[in-house]
Structure 1
Amino acid sequence: MAHLLGAEALQLEFPTRIIFDSVSLGIDEGDRIGVVGRNGDGKSSLLAMLAGRLEPDAGRVTVRRGVRVGVLDQGDTLDDADTVASAVVGDLAEHVWAGDPRVRDVTAGLLGEIDWDAPIAGLSGGQRRRVALARLLVGDDDVLMLDEPTNHLDVEAIAWLAEHLKRRWAPASGALLVVTHDRWFLDEVSTKTWEVHDRIVEPFDGGYAAYILQRVERDRMAASSEAKRQNLARKELAWLRRGAPARTAKPQFRIDAANALIADVPEIRDPVALRSLAVARLGKDVVDLLDASVSYDDRPVLTDIEWRIAPGERTGILGVNGAGKSTLLGLVAGTVQPTGGRVKRGTTVKVATLTQRLDELEQHLNSPVRVVLERLRTTYSFGTGSKVQELTPGQLLERMGFTSAQLSTPVKDLSGGQKRRLQLLLVLLDQPNVLILDEPTNDLDTDMLAAIEDLLDSWPGTLLVVSHDRYFIERVTDQQYAILDGRLRHLPGGVDEYLRLRHRQEEKRDAAASATAAAATPAPGLSGADLRAAQKEVSAIERRLTKLTALIDAAHIAIAEHDQNDYAGVAAQSAKLQDLESEVAQLEERWLELSDLV
């Protein structure tokens, strides 16, 4: 494979610390490299030096002649004076860019719901991120360097981006270097991993799952002082092997070695003990949404939501931006009142919400971290049964990655990730029994995400999570629901099922729009009688699809409420559900055929 870009003996020093000390590495054609490491260890600085945007204090970066390097910055670099069109394709005439398959693919995948002529200044953060990505991806770069590309993107956009990057180049051409805390995304797109730590860049073969295995082996053999970090990695490895076999089936992942390493690692959670403790704290009644609906200015957002939340339930909520996720969580928390139906709340329920803002820290900005926790209580209990641990504020902060020196740091001087961790601790230490997490992974690196997941594993309460981080939501929750067209739908197949449903939903809408446009003109080749017959069949199919949708929703509810120990009964209901979905697929194909005619 041809060499594209290399670095020799790079050194980088900031006023307070040395970031890199004599780092040498290279990027070859076909490389797909994920970059991981703690916040502040130099991941973004490494990309900036390799891209020629940051001059190292010593050493040099060489790029093969003619190689084009494209960079996506972590920050927002768009010009507010531009429109979406000018930001993405510049001054190119429409017939030029519209004739390029790559441009069409990128704009359809990222900008489908954004007005092409809209000014950049009026876009949301998520829309601006999509425009910045589109501007980069419509180009023809040999090397792409992406710094946190999944920030502000929803699950669907992240899945699209992963698929685009996997098929963008032939297997032995082009190169990708990506910094991200999104572990699912890393596993999808990368075949190598660089870990930035302790002034070096350490290479590993494979994506995130393979990297975790090799890191456990490294820590185990070295018997280093990083015992706590090793244990978290081993626990995460156990989940990767037991809970996500599709990931670990990749050739790079040495399954036999993984099994040996996790032989003595218990299950990540004890669901029976956690549920029992949750019932003791909550009783049997938590929050019931009974045919609850919410409308704003006569615009329905949620319709006939039936959801009985159980003690100890751990549920992830999926949906596109604007689908009603925050409204749904507001109903649970009591901050939103239903315009139809009702919400029944248990008498002992205490709900706490970790929001995307940092409101909990406002009153503590000038106080040292240790003092903030000591004001609340002197010891804290985590775990269940014989595994209950009594931790001091200092021990708890250390478990969450704070050093001794940082315990005396005023809250206002903490980094974004440190503030996020402290915010979560304050919420947990208020001892709620229902915890709502709204995008909790913002500003956190992969190690800190593992630490938070470890903390949540021993938290005995009802957990509701909204997150675009697929790995996190699959890791900390036991089931997922989606908001689709204002209704709550259970997802036995998890995130994959959600993406299939959304794809089918978009296909239906596109087909309906095409049919509406075509209805204005007579169909060539069809007689009047044939046209009327086709239109009649289309109407019949649409009625049947509406009925099947209701039957499928009912089947999902029946499976969820059925005794899970009755394997035969669950299997029979699942078979019925598959038959219904198969009929839907056949009818949709026929509907599309007829739509082309009528």
Structure 2
Amino acid sequence: MAHLLGAEALHLEFPTKVVFDSVSLGIDEGDRIGIVGRNGDGKSSLLAMLAGRLEPDGGRVTVRGGVTVGVLDQADTLDDALTVAGAVVGDTPEHEWAGSPRVRDVIAGLLTDVPWDAALTALSGGQRRRVALARLLVGDGDVLFLDEPTNHLDVEAIAWLAAHLKTRWAANAGGLLVVTHDRWFLDEVCTMTWEVHDRIVEPFDGGYAAYILQRVERDRQSAVIEQRRQNLARKELAWLRRGAPARTAKPKFRIDAANVLIADVPEIRDPIALQSLAVQRLGKDVVDLLDASVSYDGRDVLHAVEWRIAPGERTGILGVNGAGKSTLLGLVAGTVTPTAGRVTRGKTVKVATLTQRLDELEEHLDDPVRVVIERLRATYTFGTGSKAQELTPGQLLERMGFSSAQLSTPVKDLSGGQKRRLQLLLILLEQPNVLILDEPTNDLDTDMLAAMEDLLDSWPGTLLVVSHDRYFLERVTDQQYAILGGRLRHLPGGVDEYLRLRRAQQLEPVAAAASAAPSAPAGLTGAERRSAEKEVAALERRLEKLEAQIATTRTALADHDQSDYVGLGAEMARISGLEAERDAVEQRWFELTEQLD
């Protein structure tokens, strides 16, 4: 493969820190490289040096003659004087850019809800980010440098971007270097991973899953990396092997070696113990949304939502921006009042919300981190049963990646990721039994995301998560729902099913136009349609019965003797069986209704 660019003996230092010391590396045609590492270790600086945006203090970067480079910065660099069209295609005549399949694909993938002639000043931060990304992708760069490209993108846009980058070049052409904390994206797109740490860049073959395996092997053979990081990496590997088989089935992931490594690693969560403890803390009643609707200015945002939230439930919520996710969470938290229907809450329910803002830290900005934590609780209990352990504030902070020196740092001087971690700890120390996380992964690196996930694995309460980070969402929740057309819908097939539903939703106008055409071909025959309609009706009746059985069994579980672990396990297994049957029935219903549409 031909060489595209390289770096020799790069040295970079700031007044208080040496970031890189004699780093040499290169990018060849066909390379798809993800850069990972802790916040502050130099990932963005490395990208900037290789892209020619930052001059190293020593060494040099060379680019092969004729190679063009495109860069997506984290910062917003768009000219406010431009329109969306001007920013994306410049002065190119419409007949030229409209005739380009790439340009049409990029616009359809990123800008369907952004007015083409709108001024950039009228756009939200997320829309401006998508415009900047579209501007880069319509070009013909031989090498693309992307710094946090998934920021402000929803699950759909992230899936589109991954597919675009995988097919943008031929297998042995072009080069991609991406800094991102989105682990699903890394695994989906990258064939090589560079870890930035301790002033060096260490290469690994494969995407995120393969990188985790190799890092565990490295850490097992070396005492350089602290034991805590190694344990988290092994736990992450257990999730990758056991919880995401489709992803780990890729040839680049050495399954046999993984099986040996995780043979003695327990399941990431003990659902029976967590469920039992959640019932003790919450009782049988948590929050029930009963035929709840919310309207703003005469427009239905949510319509007839029926959702009975169970103790210990761990649910992810999906939906496009503006679909009503925040409104739904507001109904649960009590900050939004339904305009129709009602919301009931158990007497012991204590809801806490990790918002996208950092309001919880405002009153603590001048205080050292240690002082802030010590004011709340002397100790905090993690885990359940025999695995429960009491942690001091210092141990708790260390578990979330704070060094001894940082414990004396005023809150106002922390990085964005450190503030985010502290915000979560403050909320957990208030001991809520219903926790709502609204985009909790912002500003966190992959190691800190793993630490947050580890923390949540032993948290015995009801967990509701809204996140565009697909990996995190699938990792910490056991089921997903979507808001589609103002209604809440269960997703037995998870995120993949949501993406299928969204594609079908977007194709509805096209299908409607096609069905209205005189020459439209017939679908099902009359007999087939009648048979399918009968089966759909039967499936709907079965779904109603299953939902009632699940609700009854969950209620009975709350009244069960909590010391009878065998009986609790049997009841939980029964619930799991009913839920599996419900999911299968719902999947069949979905297939049939698609045929009938």
Secondary structure of the equivalent of 1:222?
coil
- How big is each residue's C-alpha offset from its partner over 1:474-494, in whole Å with a ceiling of 9 and x where there is no partner? 000011000000000001111
**What CA deviation, in whole Å up to 9, does each residue of 1:499-558 have, x standing for no partner?**
01111111113433x469x78xxx6xx7xxxx9x99xx99xx999999999987776666
SS at match of 2:221: helix
SS in structure 2 opposite 1:146? strand
Judge conservation of contact 1:292–1:343 (CA < 8 Å) in 2.
yes
Gaps of 5+ in 1: 589-598
Q: 1:71 to 1:549 in 2, by over 3 A?
A: farther
| Moved >2 Å (runs of 4+) | 509-512, 541-588
Deviations 1:446-472 (A, max 9, x none): 000000000001111100000000000
Give the counterpart letter for 1:37 in structure 2: G
CA displacement at 1:582 relative to structure 2? 3.4
- 1:402-551 aligned at under 5 Å gives the runs 402-512=402-512, 514=513
Q: Which residue of 1 aligns with 2:595?
A: 586
| Residue 100 (str. 1) matches residue 72 (str. 2) | no
Structure 1 position 586, deviation (Å): 3.1
- AA aligned to 1:290 is L
Amino acid of the structure 1 residue aligned with 2:94 = E
Paired amino acid for 2:357: R
Q: What is the Cα deviation at residue 122 of structure 1?
A: 0.7
The corresponding residue for 1:322 is 322
1:149-228 alignment, distance < 5 Å: 149-228=149-228
Letter in 2 for 1:125: G
What does residue 276 of structure 1 align with? 276
Aligned residues: 575
Distance 1:303 1:544 in 2: 30
The answer for the alignment partner of 1:399 in structure 2 is 399
Which stretch of structure 1 is more off in the superposition, 299-308 or 216-225?
216-225
Paired residues of 1:562 and 1:570 also in contact (CA < 8 A): no
Offset at residue 253 of structure 1 (A):
0.8
Q: Does the CA contact (< 8 Å) of 1:45 and 1:54 recur in 2?
A: yes
Query: Aligned letter for 1:240?
Result: L
Residues 500, 562 of structure 1: CA spacing in aligned structure 2 closer, same or farther, 3 A cutoff? farther
Q: Measure, in 2, the Cα distance between the counterparts of 1:249 and 1:197.
A: 28
Cα distance 1:578–1:308, how it changes in 2: closer, same or farther (>3 A)? closer
Bigger mean CA deviation after superposition, 384-393 or 11-20: 384-393
Provide the residue aligned with 1:591 in structure 2: none
User: Deviations for 1:187-207, whole angstroms, at most 9, x for unmatched residues?
Assistant: 000000000000000000000
Q: Displacement, 1:264? A: 1.0
Contact 1:353–1:436 (Cα < 8 Å) also in 2: yes
TM-score (norm 2): 0.92
1:112-169 deviations in whole A, cap 9, x for unaligned?
A: 1111001100111111111011000001111011000000000000000000000111
Change (3 A) 1:551 1:199: farther
Distance 1:411 1:575 in 2: 49
The alpha-carbon deviation at position 565 of structure 1 amounts to 3.5
CA contact (8 A) 2:539 2:585 kept: no
Q: Distance in 2 between matches of 1:509 and 1:552?
A: 27
Contact 2:182 2:471 in 1 (8 A): yes
Partner of 1:50: 50
One-letter amino acid matched to 2:256: D
State the Cα deviation string for residues 367-423 of structure 1 (Å, max 9, x = none). 000000111121111111111111111111011000000000000000000000000
8 A Cα contact 2:68 2:141, kept in partner: yes
| Distance (Å, rounded) in 1 between the aligned partners of 2:57 and 2:215 | 30
AA at the equivalent of 1:100: S
How much has 1:560 moved relative to structure 2? 5.7
> 1:149 & 1:139 partners in 2: Cα distance?
16
Counterpart-to-counterpart distance in 1, 2:297 and 2:499? 30
Deviations 1:274-302 (A, max 9, x none): 11111111111000000001001111000
1:141 maps to what in 2? Answer: 141
Counterpart for residue 27 of structure 1: 27
Seen in structure 2, the aligned counterparts of structure 1 residues 575 and 233 have a Cα distance that, compared at 3 Å, is closer
Is the 8 Å Cα contact of residues 543 and 585 (structure 2) preserved in structure 1?
A: no
**Separation in 2, partners of 1:448, 1:170:** 35
Match status 1:127 vs 2:127: yes
Q: Tell me how far apart the structure 2 counterparts of residues 362 and 584 of structure 1 sit (CA, whole Å).
A: 50
TM-score by length of 1: 0.91
Residue of structure 2 equivalent to 1:376: 376
Amino acid at match of 1:188: E
Tell me: CA distance 1:555–1:243, structure 2 relative to 1, closer, same or farther (3 Å): farther
Alignment of 1:195-344 (within 5 A): 195-344=195-344
2:372 aligned counterpart, secondary structure: helix
Amino acid at match of 2:203: P
For 1:211 and 1:306, the matched residues in 2 are separated by 42
Output the aligned Cα RMSD: 2.6
Kindly tell me: are residues 275 and 579 of structure 1, through their superposed partners in 2, closer, same or farther at Cα, counting changes over 3 Å?
Answer: closer
Counterpart amino acid of residue 308 in structure 1: R
Q: Whole-Å Cα distance in 2 between the matches of residues 442 and 543 of structure 1?
A: 50
Secondary structure (helix, strand or coil) at the match of 2:497 reads helix
Q: Is the 8 A contact 1:490 1:556 kept in 2?
A: no
Which whole-Å CA distance do the structure 2 matches of 1:378 and 1:469 have between them?
33
Change (3 A) 1:322 1:554: farther
Q: C-alpha displacement at 1:304, in angstroms? A: 0.6
Shift in alpha-carbon separation, 1:395–1:255, aligned structure 2, 3 A = same
Comparing 12-21 and 374-383, the one that deviates more: 374-383
In structure 2, the partner of 1:596 is: none
Q: Is the 8 A contact 1:37 1:447 kept in 2?
A: yes
**Distance change (3 Å), C-alpha of 1:577 and 1:356:** closer
Show CA shifts across 1:196-228 (max 9, x none): 000000000000000000000000011335110
Aligned partner letter, 1:409 = T
2:564 is matched with which residue?
none
Percent identity (aligned): 79
Is the alpha carbon distance of 1:293 and 1:566 closer, same or farther for their aligned partners in structure 2, counting shifts above 3 Å? Answer: closer
| C-alpha spacing 1:551/1:224, structure 2 compared with 1 (3 Å) | farther
In terms of mean alpha carbon deviation, does 325-334 or 382-391 score higher?
A: 382-391
Counterpart contact for 2:36–2:195, Cα < 8 Å: yes
Contact 2:547 2:582 in 1 (8 A): no
Contact kept, 8 Å, 2:492 with 2:586, in 1: the verdict is no
Contact 1:295–1:339 (8 Å) recurs in 2 = yes
Q: Distance in 2 between matches of 1:291 and 1:340?
A: 7
Alignment partners' CA distance in 2, 1:64 and 1:278: 60
**Structure 2 gaps, min length 5:** 551-572
Q: In structure 2, the residue corresponding to 1:426 is in which secondary structure?
A: helix
Q: SS in structure 2 opposite 1:471? A: helix
User: AA paired with 2:290?
Assistant: L
- Paired AA for residue 115 in structure 2: D
Q: What residue identity is the alignment partner of 2:499?
A: L
After superposition, the Cα gap between the structure-2 partners of 1:383 and 1:292, relative to the gap in structure 1 and judged at 3 Å, is same
Counterparts of 1:566 and 1:87, CA distance in 2: 53
